[in-house]
Amino acid sequence: MAEIDRSAIEKRGIPAIELMENAGRAVAEETVRFLERDGSSRLRDMMITVCCGRGNNGGDGLVAARHLKRYGAEVQAFILPPKRDSNYNREVSANLKSANEAGVSVHEASEVTEELEVRTRSSHAVIDALLGTGASGKPAGLMRKMIQAINRSNKPVIAIDIPSGLHPDTGYRSGVVVEADLTCAIGLAKKGLLAAPAKKLVGELRVLDIGFPKDLLIP
Ligand SMILES: NC(=O)c1ccc[n+]([C@@H]2O[C@H](COP(=O)([O-])OP(=O)(O)OC[C@H]3O[C@@H](n4cnc5c(N)ncnc54)[C@H](OP(=O)(O)O)[C@@H]3O)[C@@H](O)[C@H]2O)c1
């Protein structure tokens, strides 16, 4: 997936910000479909919490948050702060600004606060944009605590690309893991999502077209 992403951006000239926009918008559309599937619930009456990591998975989450706000939901996002002496990458920074400008209330979370706990429990759904294909090893530190808070919410969880904590290649977990009801895989379903141990953690699986050239996806 990393190679497909790199080729799309560097060899085919598709801007990374465009891929992130396509990913987040498609996640928002799937979220609406999923939450309104019973025919009586409406997104505009809902409160959604988006939990974002500091990488591109979190960037996808910020874009999804902005589109869900545009569809009429009340949306709040929490994002892990950048590492000390560094900043978010260009696409994440741009989408942080756009989300704020669109009226999404975005909080930088340096700990799991009472506010985050209350908010996730009182939301209609929570979006897991913490860890995607850039995950390595057991979720540690604040990442681990945020995963636990998402699971404690007892609300429908929509995971972007991979339920955080699930190994993208094997489908096994080595520590805490998000238990998703819907997983929106970006571009292709990662191998781990299809493995037997992942079935209960992935929930419904949808594969989203975010504009990768078709010949890169089919070897
Ligand atoms: N071009 C695009 O915009 C595009 C295209 C396709 C997909 N995507 C999305 O981007 C995702 C990949 O983005 P990415 O490569 O930036 O990686 P990521 O999945 O967003 O994760 C990277 C972040 O996770 C942290 N991390 C990794 N393992 C951890 C652990 N065990 N415990 C705590 N923190 C951990 C890293 O922390 P450190 O900084 O401390 O290392 C890093 O900040 C995909 O899954 C997909 O959602 C974006």
Q: What is the mean pLDDT of each run of 10 residues along the chain (219 residues)?
A: 94 97 98 95 95 98 98 97 94 98 94 91 98 93 96 97 96 95 97 95 98 92
Question: What beta strand segments (E) does 116-194 contain?
Answer: 125-129, 157-160, 182-186
- For the CA atoms of 208, 212, 215, 218, the dihedral, rounded to the nearest 10 degrees, stands at -30
User: What is the structure's pLDDT at 113?
Assistant: 87
Q: Say what the pTM is.
A: 0.97
Residue 112 is predicted with a pLDDT of 85
pLDDT of residue 53: 98
Determine the distance separating the centroid of ligand 1 and the alpha carbon of 83, expressed in angstroms: 13
CA of 59 to the centre of ligand 1 (A): 9
What confidence score (pLDDT) does residue 219 get? Answer: 74
Give, using CA atoms, the residue closest to atom 35 of ligand 1. Answer: 135
CB-based burial, 130-142: b 16+ in 10 Å, e otherwise: bbbbebeeebeeb
Ligand 1 atom closest to the Cα of residue 131 is 19
pLDDT value of residue 198: 96
Given the CA of residue 130, which atom of ligand 1 is nearest to it? 20
Question: Ligand 1, from 3, 14, 133: best to mutate by most atoms within 8 Å of Cβ?
Answer: 133
Structure confidence at residue 77 (pLDDT): 97
Q: How far apart are CA 148 and CA 168, in angstroms?
A: 19
| Nearest protein Cα to ligand 1, atom 30 | 139
- Specify the pLDDT at position 174: 87
Smallest CA-to-CA distance from 19 within 59, 77, 49, 78 is with: 59
